[in-house]
Chains A and B, each alone.
Chain A
Amino acid sequence: MATKDYIRERFFPHIWCPGCGHGIIMNALLHAIEQIGLKKNDIVMVSGIGCSSRISGYLDFHTLHTIHGRALAFATGVKISRPELTLLVPMGDGDALSIGGNHFIHACRRNIDMTAIVMNNRVYGMTGGQYSPLSGYGTYATTAPYMNIDQDFDVVQLATASGATFVARSTTYHVHEMTAILKAAILHKGFSVVEVMSQCPTYFGRKNKEGSASDMMEKFRARTVPLGSKKKQEDPTLIERGIFVDKQMPEYCEEYQKIIGRAMKDK
């Protein structure tokens, strides 16, 4: 199956701005799904609200476009009732970690088998460029014209501490790596978190004078290193990419089935 067979062509061209990194993530996700050979009918994509969450409209799976920050809660309901399906939950940085912060950490803790993709462009693009919990200290946004003083979350550390059993990071520049990581995340049994650093040339890029989409992607190349690289020791401000956590823990749906079995034993 070609990647084009997974999209709803009638909704293209999509609404994302020229150079938006979200399209590159969608492209890589399609390649990952194609390489695994998943059938369209076996995939459920659940998204919340935001630029990133528009992705569910463009892909021809079972799709749910739900409420802001609550995609993981809806996805949990789908997975519990139909555990044989593959759940993909693309979220923006604000959607995942601000509005949906609580859902995010508790989904990590439960280790329910689904893949959360945090499409991190460090800004609320759809609503006009407000700063998000991932913008970080020293950045500028329409709501931080004199500089943002909020520290940002480290998605990888947050997900790891919350108990996710697969945690990884990549960028829109590293497309081959991103595809491989997304593939591994989808195949992983348990809760997978993949943070993909994405560019928003329209808001984050413009407010922070980062130039064009290509310039922002060049920055991802320059400012990130593979996990365990020596360069990171020399320059601690570099951001590491790769698979940080990959471990096996009891999966939630399987454990739930055991509870049902236990409760029904005497019936």
Chain B
Amino acid sequence: MAKLKLKRHVINRDWCKGCGICVHFCPQHVLELDDQDKVFAARPQDCVCCKLCELRCPDLAIEVETEEEMIWADR
């Protein structure tokens, strides 16, 4: 079985306008806005790679880079 594993959040700071949609709708509260109102991943370890931030970003400013992790079920 393959599961998505986070590589990193790629954030384009020039394109981010700090609207906060990704922060508000992140189911795991991974993201926050910094003092310049740009998004950053405050708790990347909690990310479940649902990519809702990437899909809802009006500015195409955030991308969730993932890789597939193989998980072997115990027999």
Contacts and interface: CB of A to CB of B under 8 A. Distances in A.
B18 interface: yes
B19 interface: yes
Interface string A209-223: 000111001000000
A23 interface: yes
Given A23-B60, A27-B58, A214 B15 contact: no
Contact of B55 (A4, A21, A27): A27
A14 B54 CA distance: 16
A217 B55 contact: no
B25 A214 contact: yes
Interface residues of B, number: 17
Interface residues of A, number: 28
A71 to B, nearest CB: 22
Given A213-B20, A214-B21, A12 B15 contact: yes
A64 B52 CA distance: 31
A19 B55 contact: no
Interface of B: 14-15, 17-21, 24-25, 52, 55-61
Interface of A: 3-4, 7, 12-14, 16-24, 26-28, 31, 172, 175-176, 179, 201, 212-214, 217
